[in-house]
Amino acid sequence: MTAITGWRPTYAHLRAAVVGLTVLVVGVVIGRPDAVVIAAPLVLVAVASARRPATEPRAATPLAALTVNEGEEVTWEATLDGLPPGGTAVFVHPGQKLLAVEPAAGLLVAEGAGEAAPGAAVGRIALRPLRWGRRRLGDPAVAAYDGWCSWRWGPVPLAGMRMTVLPMTAPLDATAPAPHPRGLVGMERAARPGEGTEFNKVRPFGTGDRLRRIHWPVSARTGRLHVTATYSDEDTHVAVLVDAVNDVGESAGVDGDQSSMDLAVRAAAVLAEHFLHRGDRVGVRVFGAWGVSLVPAGTGLLQLRRILDTLCLIEPGTARGEDALVARQGLGAGTLALMLSPLIDPAATQQVAILNRAGIDVVVIDTLPPGMEEETGTTPAALAWRIRMLQRRVETTRLASLGIPVVPWAGAHSLDQVLRDLTRRRSTPRLVVR
């Protein structure tokens, strides 16, 4: 948009002056007082706004970049100084796909309204991003008018805002423990005894035992000191693997239909938040998106923010043909791998198989949006899709036969039972490739 600075007369000014004066003169000349009355308000308006405003407006907006959550409403604000007395200012923020703007068609604010100083106007427009991602919003524009809208200054474009929209995280209150805790600190009950909170057994006192662990009733009954032994508390390495090779389905924002990538990113955010709150180490690996590949495992709220920042940068399908073996890098046996994938690309299934053979507990979370499997068209594309869906069904059945659970993502509780099953299964001997 080209900035038009300086006050310029509008069509309203032309209309009032031309029609008013012409009708006035004609009425006088032909002796029609009613024509003078008809012309009078227009002439008065033309006279009232005959002078070009002498002020020089200045527009400013304080926000340049902002980080918000999906569906969160934020206010874009701009100030226009130097309005003529009784003038108005117009603030317009352009809309964008999956960005709700309110009011969408702009806001007309009177000079000195609200907490604005005399000669200034403050425009506030509500913005609500409906989908995760990083985006640059369109350039907003402001314009100034005098009291009768006879003179216009602008419109002047302002710098558009850079907005980082973090994926929505819903509370996950799953109680199932993560399998294979193998760390130093955490909330998971380890297989070995040690300092912790969960009861193991009462055993005779040994060197190094703490005095507060002494179990006095048993000690008194047996005549020997006994202590309460516990299992140690440890953390688990959770790897969230996001398949970003394809984005299937239509994304209608946080309140509407979700594409496979929406489901995957939001599920990854929920899972990361859940396991990080439990004290586990969580890392993220993304396949198929250029520039985003790995967040090393870590703990704490900072790690959650790091993961969310990474997830919102995903642009699906921008890096195809990655080596399937990459999936195994940095993941050791005992890691809990949560693969979020619509299982459209055969490479995802291949990666799951590689991880499983390496002794890593893999849970495949199916992020294909509901209803996508039912394709009834007769076009070649519809037939191809149906064939792929049949192949996909065969692949998921094979994964299930290998003991790899495939769970459709249906919210935060999808994994509860699966994690319990994995924990129960960890005592079973397994043959893995090293």
Assess 59 for contact with another protein (CB under 8 A): no
**Residues 258-297: x/- map of binding to another protein (CB under 8 A)?**
----------------------------------------
Residues 70, 78, 129, 152: which binds another protein (CB under 8 A)? 152
CB nearer another protein, residue 10 or residue 219: 10
Stretch of residues binding another protein (CB under 8 A), selected from 39-47, 288-296, 346-354, 392-400: 39-47
How many CA within 13 A on the CB side of residue 37? 3
Assess 15 for contact with another protein (CB under 8 A): yes
Rounded to the nearest 5 degrees, what angle is found at the Cα of 130, between the Cα atoms of 303 and 76? 90
For residue 52, the 8-state DSSP code is P
Assess 34 for contact with another protein (CB under 8 A): yes
Residues 1, 3, 4, 50: which binds another protein (CB under 8 A)? 50
- Dmax (CA) for the chain in angstroms is 129
Stretch of residues binding another protein (CB under 8 A), selected from 89-97, 291-299, 339-347, 376-384: 89-97
Rounded to the nearest 5 degrees, what angle is found at the Cα of 104, between the Cα atoms of 103 and 109? 45
CB nearer another protein, residue 37 or residue 302: 37
Assess 252 for contact with another protein (CB under 8 A): no
Strand partners, 79: 60, 122
Distance of CA 52 to the CA centre of its chain: 48
CB nearer another protein, residue 60 or residue 104: 104
Q: Look at residues 371, 372, 365, 342 and name the one whose alpha carbon lies nearest to residue 412.
A: 365
Q: What is the DSSP string of 71-90?
A: T--EEEEEEEE-PPTT-EEE
Torsion on CA atoms 394, 398, 401, 407, rounded to nearest 10: -70
Rounded to the nearest 5 degrees, what angle is found at the Cα of 46, between the Cα atoms of 141 and 49? 50
The Cα–Cα gap between 116 and 67 comes to: 26
Nearest-approach distance from CB 32 to another protein, in angstroms? 5
The two tokens of residue 13 are 């000014």
Helices (H), 135-190: none
Q: How many residues bind another protein (CB under 8 A)?
A: 66
Assess 161 for contact with another protein (CB under 8 A): no
Stretch of residues binding another protein (CB under 8 A), selected from 12-20, 210-218, 256-264, 279-287: 12-20
Q: Look at residues 295, 293, 337 and name the one whose alpha carbon lies nearest to residue 315.
A: 293
Residues 57, 118, 147, 176: which binds another protein (CB under 8 A)? 147
Assess 95 for contact with another protein (CB under 8 A): yes
Nearest-approach distance from CB 374 to another protein, in angstroms? 23
Residues 1, 3, 65, 104: which binds another protein (CB under 8 A)? 104
Binding site for another protein (CB under 8 A): 10-12, 14-19, 21-28, 30-48, 50-52, 54, 86, 88, 90, 92, 95-99, 102-110, 113, 143, 145, 147-150, 152
